[in-house]
Copies of this chain bind each other. A is one copy, B any other.
């Protein structure tokens, strides 16, 4: 595979990657990849882990609320919860008040699995933070927040 010169290849790569949003995308990809890697031993995907984590903070939440907390649509959350339920990590049953609301809770197993998975996930975050001074981390967060606001303010 040498029909494209290395400099040519680099030029193209740079053009594709240069768009400002691309750095953000790469960072997100790297983060997801690393979390996926450390969560694999627990048999959890990133969305599954996030759902369990949110559930630990909001026990008994409805699927819709969990979806909001995890920034996904209720439909997506439903599919995630289905697989978690089929594995016995969570339990869902109708609320006594609202017949159509499904109250969701961690099972013992889910709780135990989350403990380990959370430690692994937190370790990744900690390693990431370790590359920055606290001042740099603040600056990064603040710049990203501005980017988020800028983009969100355009939407309908």
Residues of A within 8 A of B (CB): 4, 12-13, 15-16, 19-21, 23-31, 33-35, 37, 50, 53-54, 57-58, 65, 69-71, 122, 124-125, 127-132, 136-137, 139-141, 143-152, 154-156
Contacts and interface: CB of A to CB of B under 8 A. Distances in A.
Contact of A33 (B124, B137, B151): B151
Given A152-B30, A155-B33, A24 B144 contact: yes
- Each complex incorporates copies of this chain amounting to 2
A53 B141 CA distance: 30
Chief secondary structure at chain A's binding surface: helix
Residue from A29, A151, A154 having most chain B Cβ neighbours under 10 A: A151
A140 B137 contact: no
14 contacts: A16-B57, A19-B125, A20-B129, A20-B137, A20-B141, A21-B31, A21-B124, A23-B140, A30-B151, A30-B152, A34-B151, A128-B151, A130-B150, A140-B140
